[in-house]
Chains A and B, each alone.
Chain A
């Protein structure tokens, strides 16, 4: 570790402040586009925390996958479903928020108590910058099967996302056998499930 201890402490405090405030912003802001960009900031700050923990490979993976892929995917989803709709008020919303806030505060108090009262074992000295080499050794020896399974999982997720998100358009009408109208294909499909009136 070449960073002096006080610099490390300052970096930790700044990064954790960004993480906490950004997470609150993601949850509480009313504009969802701001939320998505703040989420990118939270991901970057978490990558900075990984760097403080001597994990440069995982920090790079975090920036590539989360900021580069997941956040962009979320922004695209916001653009695709961005319809201004005023949400119908539901009864007991404030009570629900307060109750869930109480539950989350209780969960946080429980976690804090566990964290502060448990005598954590002191481990061996961290290997620092050799971590990337060690990760490669792990991935190709004792974690080889999960690594290959992860690739299959990614393939399955890719196919599943394509199947779920594509629009079913057939060139030939299955009922009459005629060539489908091109205008019908271009036009957005009408909603299948008509909204029931709220009971």
Chain B
């Protein structure tokens, strides 16, 4: 990967590594956030990491049929629906519990 990078062209692995960093950051934020809005933001980060992977493969491996771009359009659609429903659930939760602290949403815990 490094000689290609030094010769001036961007290899496929560079995109995959950026996506891996983004995904791991999203996972860490998902586990550690105490604010429910930040949890939703972390989910968006992870979805974007997956989209970068799909787009990189569609450009480097599947250059003629670009099925990865179709998949990322669908992922963007589902992410928009998920964000709308997730924030509606969050508003409803906030009305009932008057908090956004994830540690206090423990009604269903054993």
Instruction: Say whether, besides A78-B37, A164-B85, A58 and B97 are in contact (CB < 8 Å).
Output: no
Contact B31 A66 (CB under 8 A): no
Select one of A20, A83, A150, A161 contacting B22, CB under 8 A.
A20
Contacts of B9 in A (CB 8 A): 5, 8-9
Instruction: Say whether, besides A23-B25, A74-B41, A80-B91, A88 and B97 are in contact (CB < 8 Å).
Output: no
Contact A157 B81 (CB under 8 A): yes
For A122-158 the 0/1 string (1 means CB < 8 A from B) is 1111110001001100110001001000100110111
Enumerate B1-29 residues with CB–CB distance to A below 8 Å: 1, 5, 8-10, 12-18, 20-29
Secondary structure type dominating chain A contacts: helix
Contact B79 A70 (CB under 8 A): yes
Contact B101 A27 (CB under 8 A): no
- Indicate whether A184 reaches chain B with its CB closer than 8 angstroms: no
Contact B76 A12 (CB under 8 A): no
For B33-56 the 0/1 string (1 means CB < 8 A from A) is 111111011101100100110011
Contacts of B81 in A (CB 8 A): 153-154, 156-157
Q: 5 shortest A-B CB distances, which residue pairs?
A: A157-B81, A126-B63, A27-B29, A164-B88, A165-B88
Enumerate B45-104 residues with CB–CB distance to A below 8 Å: 45, 48, 51-52, 55-56, 58-67, 69-70, 72-74, 76-85, 87-92, 94-101, 103-104
Contacts of A53 in B (CB 8 A): 15, 55-56, 58-59
Give the B-binding residues of A (Cβ under 8 A).
5-6, 8-9, 12, 16, 19-20, 23-24, 26-27, 32, 35-36, 39, 42-43, 46, 49-50, 52-55, 57-58, 61-62, 65-66, 69-70, 73-74, 76-78, 80-81, 83, 85, 87-88, 90, 96-97, 100-101, 103-105, 107-108, 111-112, 115-116, 120-127, 131, 134-135, 138-139, 143, 146, 150, 153-154, 156-158, 160-162, 164-165, 167, 188-189, 191-193, 195
B48 CB to nearest A CB, Å: 5
A49 and B79 alpha carbons, distance in the complex (Å) = 19
- Size category of the B interface is 35 or more
Contacts of A160 in B (CB 8 A): 85, 88
- What is the chain B residue whose CB lies nearest that of A11? B10
B7 CB to nearest A CB, Å: 8
A62 and B20 alpha carbons, distance in the complex (Å) = 19
Select one of B42, B44, B91, B97 contacting A164, CB under 8 A.
B91
Select one of B1, B45, B65, B87 contacting A42, CB under 8 A.
B45
Q: Mind listing 14 A-B residue pairs with CB under 8 Å?
A: A9-B8, A20-B18, A23-B21, A23-B22, A24-B25, A53-B58, A65-B76, A74-B41, A81-B90, A115-B13, A124-B63, A125-B63, A134-B66, A157-B81
- What is the chain A residue whose CB lies nearest that of B64? A124
